Amino acid sequence: MDAAKKQDMPPPGGYKKIPFARVPAKVYFSGWQMLGTYAAVTTVGLYVYYLNAKMIKREEIEMRSAENVIFPILIAERDREFLKQLRRNRDEEAKLMANVPGWEVGTWYGEPVFKTLPKDKLVSPSFNEFYAHTDWKALAKRAHIKLWS
């Protein structure tokens, strides 16, 4: 079986050329168009930022004004509650020491604690004196806040 051997040859006319040349990317925009688009987008963004910043500043001024208006009321309420607690402490002391002979509320067995101060002068109690007749949780919570502030 001697068949004629056929050699693999190129097609008639030869093979196609191998494309090796650089193919540039398709250009959608020119450089000037991209710069113009960037400038337009930046301008619009800055304008929107300006409007937003103006609105935020107006709201901050309004909130600051509201805080300035309500601040004296909050201070007055704080002072009022402070004086009410002092009254509750005195009432509790009077009830607690009712059976002790010679005990006057706000004194040490009839002797004023602060002898050089006028009688109508308010002496702020220490932290522990202020919370002497409250439950332990209120004292612990407030002491924790006081120590960290």
Question: Could you tell me the residue ranges of all domains in the chain?
Answer: 31-111, 123-148
Q: What is the pLDDT of residue 118?
A: 87
Whether 109 contacts 98, CB under 8 Å: no
Alpha-carbon distance of 112 to 120, in angstroms, equals: 12
Quick one: how far is CA 65 from the chain centroid? Answer: 19
pLDDT by 10-residue block (mean), the chain, 149 residues: 77 89 91 97 98 98 96 96 92 91 84 83 87 85 74
Q: What is the pLDDT of residue 48?
A: 98
**pTM, entire model:** 0.58
- Give the start-end residues of each E strand in 102-144: 107-108, 111-112
Amino acid at 33: Q
Taking alpha carbons only, the member of 120, 100, 118, 96 closest to residue 110 is 100
β pairing state of 107-108 and 111-112: antiparallel
Quick one: how far is CA 110 from the chain centroid? Answer: 51
